[in-house]
Structure 1
Amino acid sequence: MSKDNPIGIFDSGVGGTSIWKEIHELLPLEHTIYLADSVNAPYGEKPAEEIIRLSVKNTEKLLQMGAKIIVVACNTATTNAIQHLRSSYTIPFIGIEPAIKPAALHTKTKSIGILATKGTLTSALFAKTSDLYSKDNRVVEVVGKGLVEQIEKGQKDAPRVEQMLRQLLQPMLDAGIDYLVLGCSHYPYLIPTLKKILPQHVTIIDSGMAVAKQTKHVLQSLGLLTDEQQKTPEFFTNADPEILKNLLPEPRERFIVRHLEF
């Protein structure tokens, strides 16, 4: 495997671009290829076998494109499929899990909220992590039903989304949380709206930077970090490329964004 091969990233749609941004910022020389499986979004409501099948499909496509490492930029796919992927392929995989640990270690009210998909909250891997760090804390878990679909439609700032969030967050506010953990890579795009709803003392945590640092660490340890400026970042979606493009940093013309059946 050449160190000039790309970092492959996939998600159940456009949300994992929040993870891509952190990786691109930390590793600007790396060539990145992003797959948005928006046709099958959200993964969070699907059975585990289906999530594994879709994760294998995405992995195979990224391997065809020459990926040297694969970032599973989807909490649901990580918690349900990453063990299968790691046992089936020799390429390294980086996963993403809700950042419960920092919230549990720093909470002063001993009450933390986790907003995630059903697929993440009901997975065995999440249960194991949650049990480990939530012994002394009250953990309010809420399924963000309908949120991924709104973001996939390009409606992240719509009044309807704010209304949905107010309803979803109410049990957390009633419990006096001081940390909100975002357990879905789509949800960082809701942070401006979340800040309107949550009291100022509530800290919002997502996993993007931790994933970027782990990606760098693994590439470094394998001698796969590139030292030359690479090609333009590439983004592929099996749905509307414009929705994906609108989530990328300006100027967007510097990225390749295309429709691809996969």
Structure 2
Amino acid sequence: MSNKQAIGLFDSGIGGTSIFKEIHDLLPYESCIYLADSKNAPYGNRSKEDILRLSIKNTEYLIDQGCKIIVVACNTATTNAIAYLRATYKLPFIGIEPAIKPAALNTQTKAIGILATQGTLSSQLFHKTTDLYSKGIKIIEQVGDGIVSLIETGRLESDEMKALLEIYLKPMLEADIDYLVLGCTHYPYLIPTLSKMLPSHIKIIDSGRAVAQQTKAVLAQENLLSSNTQKPNIQLFSNSDTSILEAIVKYQYKVSYLDF
């Protein structure tokens, strides 16, 4: 394994670009390959077997491209597939978990909200993490049905999205939450909308920065941090409409169609 090889990332669609951006900000000289499996989005409504199959397919493509580490930039794929991936392949894997710990440790109202996919909320890993930090705290879990599909089809700021969010936030506001945990890598793109809809004292947190820091730490531990000081090679691929992915990364990078 060479430190010149790329960081590989995959997600069920465009959401994992929120993780890619954090990694690229922290590690600006690292080459990256990002896979958006948008034709199979959302993963959150799929069976565990299906999520595992798709995660293996994405992983093997990134390995074939010579990636030195793989970031599973999808909460649902992490909670359902990362244990298998780590046991099966030799390179390091970074997973994504909802940021329950900081919310639980800092809440003043002793109530936090978690907005995530069904695949994440029903997973064993999610329940294990929740059990660790939820003593004496009320956790309002909400499945974000329909959110990923709206984001994947370019309707991030639509009236449909706002109507959905109003429904999902209502029980959280009634429970007096002071932290909203975003448990899907698509959801950070909702922060501007959520900030307008929520009282100012409610803090919105996601895992992006922590994931970037963990990626850097693991690369350093494995002696795989890039020594490059030139512009890195950034490749973004989608197996669906590339214009949606290009719009979300603000046309900074070309997105190529890949039939995978």
TM over 0.5, shorter chain: yes
> Paired residue for 2:253?
255
> Paired residue for 1:59?
59
> Paired residue for 1:3?
3
> Paired residue for 2:245?
244
CA displacement at 1:233 relative to structure 2: 1.0
3-state secondary structure, aligned to 2:5:
coil
Structure 2 Cα separation of the partners of residues 160 and 77 of structure 1: 26
Q: Deviations over 1:44-64 (max 9, x none)?
A: 001111100000000000011
CA displacement at 1:136 relative to structure 2: 1.4
What runs of 5+ residues in structure 1 fail to find an aligned partner? Answer: none
Percent identity for Structure 1 against Structure 2? 60
3-state secondary structure, aligned to 2:14:
coil
Q: Deviations over 1:33-91 (max 9, x none)?
A: 00000010000001111100000000000011110000000000000000000000001
> Paired residue for 2:145?
145
3-state secondary structure, aligned to 1:246:
helix
> Paired residue for 2:108?
108
Structure 2 Cα separation of the partners of residues 148 and 220 of structure 1: 33
> Paired residue for 1:196?
196
Structure 1 Cα separation of the partners of residues 43 and 160 of structure 2: 22
CA displacement at 1:155 relative to structure 2: 0.7
Which residue type is aligned with residue 243 of structure 1? I
CA displacement at 1:256 relative to structure 2: 2.9
> Paired residue for 2:235?
234
The within-5 A match list for 1:40-119 is 40-119=40-119
Query: Is residue 8–residue 70 contact of structure 2 (8 Å, CA) maintained in 1?
Result: yes
CA displacement at 1:135 relative to structure 2: 1.1
> Paired residue for 2:134?
134
The within-5 A match list for 1:25-36 is 25-36=25-36
> Paired residue for 1:159?
159
Which residue type is aligned with residue 45 of structure 1? N
The within-5 A match list for 1:167-186 is 167-186=167-186
CA displacement at 1:145 relative to structure 2: 0.4
Structure 1 Cα separation of the partners of residues 180 and 141 of structure 2: 10
TM-score (norm 2): 0.98
Structure 2 Cα separation of the partners of residues 206 and 153 of structure 1: 22
Structure 2 Cα separation of the partners of residues 130 and 88 of structure 1: 27
Which residue type is aligned with residue 42 of structure 2? P
Query: Is residue 4–residue 230 contact of structure 1 (8 Å, CA) maintained in 2?
Result: no
Q: Deviations over 1:14-37 (max 9, x none)?
A: 000000000000000000000000
Runs of 4+ in 1 over 4 A off after TM superposition: none
What runs of 5+ residues in structure 2 fail to find an aligned partner? Answer: none
3-state secondary structure, aligned to 1:20:
helix
Query: Is residue 232–residue 255 contact of structure 1 (8 Å, CA) maintained in 2?
Result: no
CA displacement at 1:196 relative to structure 2: 1.3
Which residue type is aligned with residue 184 of structure 1? C
